Every structure is written in structure tokens, then in C-alpha cells.
Structure 1
Amino acid sequence: WTGFRLKDREEASWFQWFTAFIIGWSLARAFIFLLLDMRFFLGAIVTMPFVLGAFMLAATLGHITSHKTISLGLEGVKKAPIPSLSLLSVLLISLLLTLPNLTAMAGILPSPPERPENGYGSTDMPYEVNEYIYATDYPESITKWWDDWSQEYEWNIHVFVPVGIEKESIGVAIMLHGHDGEAIEVYRDTMESLAGQGLVAIFPQYVSDVDLSSVSSDFELTKLFGGSDHPQHEPRFTMAMHGVDAAFDFIANDTALQSDIGGATIDTNHLWISGHSMGAGSLFYVLGIGLERGWGSESLVLNLEAPWVHATQPVLDGNMSLLPNHTLVHVVEYESDIVVEKCLGRWQYDRLRNRDGAEPLPSEQVLFLLIPSDYRGFPRLIASHYLPAAVVRESLSDQSYYPRIEAQADFISSSAWSDNDSADSAKQWFMEPGEMTDLGEWSNGEDVNPMQIIESPFDLPEDNPGACPT
């Protein structure tokens, strides 16, 4: 309307410059958004494209109505074909940005399920949790790999404990973070979930990026079956293990912590250990040392979320043939993960299932899980690489991640207390389809796409037979 009123006035040219600026500004930002959406947002954000499209649409209509020639209709379009074609292209782009997101912006789409009100994943956990933070010294064999940022960073070990334990012993949880995930805030909710179920939960910070100046320039990286011989494995893995060992010393000598757990014995015979992304690769080394020490000899749960590569160097790869017969495993793939190659988790599954060539574990004890995305509502449920990160916690995390790890923790803590009924109940929850695979309902009553248990992870689709090369 503004453009129509200004069409025959001197201000029309200024208005056209203004609308041209808005069109160019919106196009540039729409292009940037589309690039980010392909690599990061994965369709989760609808407000930005809708707003940019609305700006573009308004500016385009304003430009058309204020143009003396094009505003004449078909006759005007014939007289100015190139500007008309340009504006038509912009108009189509604006509609492509706005129309697919209109129902979401109008509040018509169903909303995702809320966090569970009770049981696993809810705010109602058996124990309150206290956090203890410790600093330790690291040997030169580790610090020599640190880059400038690592030299300045304050590396700590975080220990979360349940308050008011009245048991003789208590099981252990070890969480190994992903690349650049050393800040405890990224995994705080994970640690509180584990300790809230009755475990002493250890979070060792360790380096992600290292100084590789000492590595020979002719070094050639070799990748094999989900692993590699990259030199960075050594400082990462050994620093993580150093932190775990230091944590046990701090726990034993901290009177306040011991008071919180009632002096219960720290029982590493009952162990939960997990790694997210890079942490899943680190897990094999830490677990390998633990198995040599007898950790997990009575109950053991391994949880690998969106796994990254393990080490192939013999001193770092961990001996999975030592896995006890009662080991329970989750290897978890996220459908919309674009950070790690999905075949890596399938190789990790194969390695754990076959115990490095020893007698395989029963298939019902090693589950390969696929967490799907679901775009049918708003906000959309995106199974991205960052599902375990507390800083971006959302509905899909509340349904697919936290209840599952809390059930695993409950199994370990109950086993440590010889509460066989509770342990069996928890095991059934996270090792069988049903409550674990049911991810709730949209507000319109439709089921959210359920978690899938993939029976044969290496049965690759026919249209992508090379998805998991060696």
C-alpha cells in the first residue's frame, strides 16, 4: 500500500532503494541461514526463515507497487522483463521461506512431549546430589602435548555423589566427554542423573586439541575398523585415566564427601562407563585398564553415544576380550548426526559384541540403538550429535537419553546393594523394547517416532553399500 501511494511521487525512487536494500539484506541472511541449517540447525529453526521470508515478501511487494512500469501488470512486465524476472525470483524465494513454516508460526502444529513426571528422566530422583571439584598435577608425559590454550586452562576433576546413602558400598560411574566438552556445564545434567540414582559419578576433564609439533612431518594416518593410530589419542586417553585415578584418591580422603555417602565403600566391581563422541573412543582405553584391575566384575554397563574413533595402537586400544560375560552395552546412533561418521559406532558395536575376537557376548546384551528425528510438530525433535549436552537439552533428550542412562545407573547401584529385584526391573527397562523405545506422544496424541533397536547394524542399504568402509 505504501509503494502504491508513492508510485507517482518523487519519494518513490527512495522507497525503491530502501526495498531493494531490504531484499538484498534478507537474501544474504537467508543464504547464510541455509548454509548453517544444512550443517548445524538441521531444520530445527523455523522462526528465522519465516521472518526473513516475510521481510523479503513485504519488500518485494512494496518494490513492485511503487514501480511505475511493473505495477501496470502484464503490460508493464513486458516492458521491463529483466527487473520483473528478478522480482519474481525473489517473490518465489520469499514464499519458499515462509509457507513451509507458516503452520509452525501460527501455532497449529502439535507440541512435543513433556519431561516425564515420575520415574526415570523426571525431576524426582532417589537422592539429592552434591558436587566436589578437585585439581591434580599431571605428569610431563601428558603436559608436553598441551597447546597454549590447554596450558592456561584450569583442568579439574568433578565428582558427583548421592547424599544420604545408607549402604555399605556404592557403585561407580565414569563419564568421558566429547571434543571441546570439558566444561562441566555441558554434562551437568548427566552427572546429576547418575549420582541421583545412587552412584559416585566421576567426570575427568581432559584435552581435546593438542600440540602436534613433535609429530614427524611424514606421519601417515591409518584408519581401520572404526579406529586410528592418530598421535592425539595418547595425551587424551592417558589424561582421562590419570583424572579417574586421582578422583579415587580424592574421594577416599575427603571427609565431607565421605560424610555425604555415609562412609560407604567405593565398589568398582559395579561400574557404569560412558563416552560421548570423542569420549566413546577414550572409553576403550580407560575401560581396558579398569578390566585389568577387575572393575565391573559383578555388574558392568557400557554406554557409547554417537561414538568417535578408538585407538589402534596396542598400548592404547584396550583389551575388550576381558569383558565379563554379564556386560550390558548400548551403542547409540543419532539419525541427524552430521558430526561423526555413523559407521564408527557400527564398528564399535562389532568390537564389543565380539570382545576383540574372544567368545561373542549374547546379542541380547549388546544393543545398537537408533534415535530418530521427528519433524511433525513444533519445536521439531532433532536427533543431533549434541543430544546429551545439557546446554541444549530439549524434549528428545528428556525422552531418549536421560531416562535410559538413569535406568542403567539404577541397575548398577541396585546391583551394588544386592537388590536383585530392583536391578532386574531396571535391566528390563533399558535392555528390552517397550518403555525405553517409547518416546512419548505429540500433543495431538500421535506417537513420536520410536527408538529403534537395530538387530544387524552391518546390514547396509542396497543404495549405499559402502557406508562403512574399513
Structure 2
Amino acid sequence: MIEYKRSKILKILLVSAELLGLLIGLVPFLIGFLSGTGVEFNKARSSLEFARVIQVNTPLVFWLTFLLLLIVIFGLIFYQYRIFKKDLLEKQAKKLYTWDILRILGGVGIGYLIYELIIYLIINQLYFHGAFVSIPFILSIGIIIGTSLISFSDFHTVQIILYPLFKRILKKTETLKLTIYKPTLNYIKMAKNLVWVILGFIIIFPSLIPLMGLSPTSELQPSSGYGSQDRPFEVDTFQVENDLPENITAFVTPRNENNSWYIYYYLPRLSVATLSSTQNIPIALYCHGNSGQDVVEYDYSLRALASRGMAVIFVQYSRSFNYTKILEKVEVENDTEAYSFSSYIKYNMTWTGMFSAVNTLIGNNSLISSSELNETLGTDYTIDTSRILIIGHSVGGGMTLFIGSQVISEGWASQQLIFDLEAPTTSATWPSVNVNLSILPNYTMVNVIGYEDDTVLSPCDGMAQHERFFTRDNSIELNPDQVAFLLIRSDRYGFPRLVATHYLPNDPLIDTLSVFGYHRRIDAMASFLVADANSGTVVANDAKTYFQGGGENMIGMGLWSDGTPVLPLLYSTDPWGLRDGPNILNQLLDPDDEDCQL
């Protein structure tokens, strides 16, 4: 007869192990969220990266994970069976303390996985909208495995549930009786474990068909042409500090770790290329989103543009401001005006860096030495400031109007000017950055893109920007064919599910929608400008069909593996239906949404 009594601390830990694991994950997350460190965005990014790794070999991951679950469950049952078969029950009972420690560790693990699952479900609601089923599948499998370990290491539970079965199988007549801490079955504990198992299977069930590899898959990337890996140039990068005036930095808090903000250059490595004549290099100016200060968020896009032969400039701006100081030192009357002033800071941080960067490339300052530039660009090149591409995502999309006005005031973009606004905000209203688009040249070309499942900004914000560009702020209208509104639609037909979220341009979410709906277009824009600058008329005309006119090259999104077309982009030169054009508002959006009131 063996008597086993648990200490109070051990009892508390056994009861609260899952809660402890949950708090280990949740408390740091909440602290980071409340302190405004962007922990939720970083979590979304890491989840995206994890999902991308898994989705490369999803069926293999599924079967290995499912096999692991079966091995654990049947392995534990077989282990307990051997103990009973060899009459080792009493020997194992002496190890109850060790089993309890394992159960505590397992409970903490389950609690932490539950935290990961809860956060994932929240982030999924905000960002992913069901795009990834692999992450909840793996987390749920982990919870079920942990619950199995706890259940089968609970010696008393095993004795009551499994041993009668083993006894019947082996036809034993003797029963080893143990006096354990609780001589009766703990139904609450069993119910709790059962809840975790049921929850896990509920989450797993919708994932089974796609994860088994039985759903159609989408074409990730064209094998050649725009959006493919077929690039004419390799790319070099440079990082220099953005020298900002005090009237900007005084209101920014916190700064980067070393109190600096940076300008990034992505340049084509022409020095190793065989060129038949002087290479003219147009310029791309990239305005990042509000949470996209880290250049890695857009590295794929920046490299793609530079690899076509463009000089690409990316400038960091702050998302954190000292609003108390703004209210004290700036002539603002309320928080709304203070926020508008913060947009003024963002816009001017960006333009200050872009202006310095362009002047570096044309030799008017020495942020990068001429020897370093020549090592990358060679000596037979010309920086072409007459052809400019301005791309902006989210807040950066709203910023492009101001950046464009500054470009024009400098006398740049005298030959070609292209705007690409991805899920843009409306533009800032602070007087010195609230531009009038009547200054746009007649040759301006514009793509404004909304995403169907964008829960951060309404596509109607982009439609309002489209109307501003088309009418040039109610002055002389541009040619309708030059100003396109596109809506990228979600397509959940196969696997992976294709969901058009606000973060589609960010590097972690590189899938069929981002490649065909975004990367291919800006790739073609870059190719057009480079070809136009270097007398490549045929290439330039072909490239234009990918971002102008609404033809198949522009709106086609490839095929699912069973031949079904991925839902094409919706294209319109009149998304509000004001001029009898295709009314996107009534097709997919909510006309009653307050953001959709023109």
C-alpha cells in the first residue's frame, strides 16, 4: 500500500499550471501593446513568416504533425499497458512526484499554446481573415498532445480508466490498490482536459482538407516576365543617416536606438553588367506605411524595383510623437489638429530624406561618396530625375500627393510621373502639406488600389484619392485611361486561401495576390520608366499594359491548379459611378459606410 500526499504548493501548481502558462505569454504581450511598441504588428509579422515556411511543404507538415499526435497517444497507452502487464504498477506509483512535475510542465506548455492561439485568432480577425490554417492547426495539435501527456501521466486517472481495460485484456484476477491523494476520480480535471481536446479538434477540423493537400493550389509567381524572378540587374544597398532639422525632431519620440533616422538606397549593380550605351536611371520614391519603418518590411519590393534599373529611395519616418509638446509649442487648438500636425512631421521627415538622397545621386552632396556609387553604378550612367515613380502604402499612400507636389516644384518628373497608392489613407490637411493636384502634368499616370478585406482602411479612402487625381482637385481632368482604381479581391477557393488584407504589400505576405496584384504592376512600372528612359519603345509599350487600360495583363491573377481562374482585379476609371463607369462601391463595398460618403 502506497500513500502519496501533495504539498500545498504542488497542489496549487497542478491546478493553475495552464493559467501560469497563459500569463507567461499574455502579460508581456499586453505590456508591449499598452506601451505602444507595436508588439501586435511584430506578432503578425512573425506569424506570417511562420505560415510562409510551413506552406512551402504543407502536406508534409500536416502528416508529420498528425503522425506525432498518434505516436504520443498510442505510445503513452502502450507504456501504461506494459507497466500493468509486468506488474510494475507499485514501482511506478513511487514516481508520482516526478509525474506531477511533468504534468505541471505540460500544463504550462498548454497554457502558453492557448495564449498563442488566442493572439493568433485576434490577429487573424484584424489582419489575416482566414488566410492561414496551418498555424491554428499546429497550435491545436500541440494542445492535444500536451493534454494527452497530462491525462496519461495522471496516475490515478490512468488507474481508474485504463487499468480496468488492461485487466480485461490480460484477464488478471488481482488488482493492485493504491491510496493516492484523491481516491476518487476528479471529474473537474477530466472535464477541463476534455475541453482542451474538443477545442483543438474543432479548430483542426476545417483545416484537414487543405492541409492534406487535397485542395487546388494557386500559382505563386509567374515563371517569367513581370513579377517573376527574371531580373536584369543585381542590387546593392546603402544606408545613411537622415539629417533632420530641430523643428521636426523636437516633436518625435522615441527615436531609433541610436537617435537616428535613416535613408536607404537600393541601386542596380550596373558596374558588372554589359551595357551598349550610357544607362539612364529613373528614380523610385517609396513611402512606407505607419508601422513599416523597418526597411525589411518592403525589402522585396525595393529590390524588385532596383533590379529593373531604377534608383530606389526609402526614408524612415516616425509613428510616435510628443503630443503634449505639440499642443504647447504649435498653434493647434485640439487633439485633431495636433494629429494633423504629426502628419506634417511624417511628410517632412520623408521629403527631407528623399530630397537629400536624390541630390546625393546627382552629385550635389556627399552622403555617399562618388567612388562608392561608381563601384555599384559604374561610370557610364546618368541619374534621370525627369522620370519618377512614387509608391506609397497606407499612410505612405496618402503622403504621395505631397511628395509628388515637391517633386514637381523641384522641376523633376518633367517627362514621366507615375503614382501607385496601395490601400491609401486620405491625405493630411495641415496647411503646408495639403496640396492642390491642379499642378499635375498631363502625362501623369496613377494606380490607386484597394483591398477587399482591408479592416484598417476602407477602400473608399482610395476611391476618394482616385477622384482627386482624376479631376486634379476639380480643375482640368486627366485622361480617364491614365487614372485607374483597382480592387484586389479575396479568393478562398483553394489553398492557401488568398485574402486581400491591408498588409498585402508587406514582405511577409508574399502570395498570389501580392505577386499578381501588386508586385507585377510596380515591376512593370519600373520597367516602363527604364525602357522609356533608354529608348526601349517596344518594352515600354508592353510594360504599360500591366498598369494601364484594364486588360488581361493588368487584372489577371493566374489560375488555380485545377484550371479555375483566381478572381481577377476589379478595374474602374470611375469607381463611384459618377460618370456612368463601373461602380465598384455598389459591387462589393458598403455604400452606407461613413468612409464611403464622397
TM-score of the superposed pair, with normalisation by structure 2: 0.67
Q: Distance in 1 between matches of 2:324 and 2:335?
A: 15
- Decide whether aligned partners of structure 1 residues 327 and 57 sit closer, same or farther in structure 2, where only a CA change above 3 A counts: same
Matched, 1:41 2:128: yes
Q: Does 1:202 align with 2:329?
A: no
Contact 1:178 1:278 in 2 (8 A): yes
2:482 aligned to which of 365, 370, 384: 365
| Structure 1 residues 54-110: Cα deviation after superposition (integer angstroms, max 9, x where no partner) | 5666759x97997979xx9xxxxxxx9999998987676444312111112222223
Question: Is the contact made by 1:252 and 1:258 (CA closer than 8 Å) also made in structure 2?
Answer: no
Secondary structure of the equivalent of 1:311? Answer: coil
Question: Matched residue of 1:232: which SS?
Answer: helix
Contact residue 3 and residue 63 of structure 1 kept, 8 A: no
Q: Which residue of 1 aligns with 2:551?
A: 433
Q: Quick check: 1:52–1:97 contact (8 Å CA) kept in 2?
A: no
CA distance in 2, matches of 1:127, 1:336: 35
Residues 446-469 of structure 1 deviation map (CA, whole Å, 9 limit, x = unaligned): 222222214543343486423425
What one-letter code is carried by the residue in structure 2 that aligns with 1:232? S
User: 1: CA distance between counterparts of 2:493 and 2:196?
Assistant: 28
Moved more, 436-445 or 282-291: 436-445
State the alpha-carbon separation in 2 of the partners of residues 210 and 189 from structure 1. 29
- Which residue in 1 is equivalent to 2:291? 180
Unaligned ranges ≥5, structure 1: 73-79
Equivalent-residue separation in structure 2 for 1:30 and 1:170 (angstroms): 48
After TM superposition, list the pairs within 5 Å mapping 1:154-233 onto structure 2: 154-162=260-268, 163=270, 164=273, 166-167=277-278, 169-216=280-327, 219-220=333-334, 230-233=340-343
- The superposition leaves residues 23-77 of structure 1 with CA deviations (integer Å, 9 ceiling, x where unpaired) of 87776654443223212332123233334545666759x97997979xx9xxxxx
Q: 1:313: which partner in 2?
A: 430
> Superposed, which structure 2 residues align to 1:280-319 within 5 Å?
280-319=397-436
Shift of 1:301: 0.9
Q: Using the alignment, how far apart are the partners of 1:168 and 1:191 within structure 2?
A: 19
Q: Give 2:370's aligned residue.
A: 255
Residue 382 of structure 1 and its aligned partner are, at CA, apart by: 2.5
Following the alignment from structure 1 to structure 2, what is the Cα–Cα distance between the partners of residues 85 and 337?
A: 39
Match of 2:446 among 315, 322, 329: 329
Measure how far apart 1:18 and its partner are.
Answer: 6.2
Do structure 1's residue 114 and structure 2's residue 220 form an aligned pair? yes
Range with greater deviation from structure 2 (272-281 or 113-122): 113-122
2:118, 2:279 → 1: CA distance? 61
Q: Which amino acid aligns with 1:236?
A: K
- Contact 1:157 1:205 survives alignment (8 Å): yes
Q: Distance in 1 between matches of 2:285 and 2:251?
A: 24
Aligned partner of 1:50 among 137, 141, 146: 137
Note if contact 1:229-1:313 (Cα within 8 Å) is conserved in structure 2.
Answer: no
Structure 1 residues 329 and 110 mapped into 2: Cα distance closer, same or farther (>3 Å)? same
Contact 1:407 1:427 in 2 (8 A): yes
**Where in structure 2 are there 5+ consecutive unaligned residues?**
1-73, 165-185, 364-368, 577-582
Check 1:153–1:371 CA distance in 2 against 1; reply closer, same or farther (3 A cut): farther
Residue 255 of structure 2: aligned partner? 149
Deviation at 1:355, TM superposition (A): 0.7
Match of 2:470 in 1: 353
In the TM superposition, residue 408 of structure 1 has moved relative to its aligned partner by 0.6
Distance change (3 Å), C-alpha of 1:100 and 1:262? same
Q: CA deviation at 1:152?
A: 3.2
Q: 1:138 & 1:215 partners in 2: Cα distance?
A: 17
Q: Is the 8 A contact 1:276 1:306 kept in 2?
A: yes
Give, in whole Å, the separation in 2 of the partners of 1:289 and 1:91: 60
CA–CA separation in structure 1 for the residues paired with 2:220 and 2:199: 35
Q: 1:240-279 residue pairs with structure 2 within 5 A? A: 240-253=350-363, 254-256=369-371, 257-258=373-374, 260=377, 262-279=379-396
Change beyond 3 A, Cα 1:63–1:188: closer
Q: Which residue of 1 aligns with 2:346?
A: 236
Aligned with 1:241: secondary structure? Answer: helix
Match of 1:468 in 2: 595
CA distance in 1, matches of 2:542, 2:305: 17
- Per-residue CA deviation, residues 101-157 of structure 1 (Å, 9 max, x unaligned), is 111222222332132221111222122222233334221122212213347343222
C-alpha deviations, 1:174-221, integer Å up to 9, x for none? 111111322222222212211222222122222222222222288335
Deviations 1:330-387 (A, max 9, x none): 1111222222233221211111111111111122211111112222333322222222
Preserved contact between residue 272 and residue 409 of structure 1 (Cα < 8 Å):
yes
Rg comparison, structure with higher value: 2
Matching residue of 2:498 = 381
Q: Which amino acid aligns with 1:422?
A: V
| Distance of 2:279 and 2:493 partners within structure 1 | 49
Q: Which residue of 1 aligns with 2:44?
A: none
Q: Is the 8 A contact 2:426 2:464 kept in 1?
A: no
For 2:516 and 2:352, how far apart are their aligned partners in 1? 34
Q: CA deviation at 1:329?
A: 0.6
Asked if 1:344 corresponds to 2:461, the answer is yes
Whose RCO is larger (CA < 8 A, sep 6+)? 1
Aligned to 1:446: 564
Q: CA deviation at 1:237?
A: 0.9
Q: Which amino acid aligns with 1:38?
A: Q
Question: Deviations for 1:220-278, whole angstroms, at most 9, x for unmatched residues?
Answer: 3559xxxx961111211111111111112221334232461544332222111111111
1:97 corresponds to:
203
How far apart in 2 are the matches of 1:220 and 1:41? 35
Q: Give the letter aligned to residue 457 of structure 1.
A: P
TM-score of the two chains, using structure 1 as the length reference: 0.84
SS state at 1:245 partner: helix
Amino acid at match of 2:233: Y
Equivalence for 1:76: none
CA 1:455 to 1:67, structure 2 compared with 1: closer, same or farther past 3 Å?
Answer: farther
Conserved 8 A contact 1:300-1:412: no
Taking the aligned partners of 1:35 and 1:181, their CA distance within structure 2 comes to 20
**Who is 2:65 aligned against?**
none
Pair 1:50–1:134, CA change in 2 (3 A): closer
Cα 1:287–1:463, aligned 2, differ >3 Å: closer, same or farther?
closer
Quickly say closer, same or farther: Cα 1:258–1:28, change in 2 above 3 A: closer
**Shift in Å, 1:307:** 0.7
Richer in helix (by share): 2
Q: Say which SS state the counterpart of residue 389 (structure 2) adopts.
A: strand
3-state DSSP of counterpart to 2:296: helix
Question: How many equivalent residue pairs?
Answer: 460
The verdict on how the C-alpha distance between 1:238 and 1:263 changes in structure 2, with shifts beyond 3 A counting, is farther
Alpha-carbon distance change, 88 to 258 in structure 1, aligned in 2, over 3 angstroms: closer
C-alpha separation between the residues in 2 aligned to 1:182 and 1:318? 24
Q: 2: CA distance between counterparts of 1:240 and 1:248?
A: 12
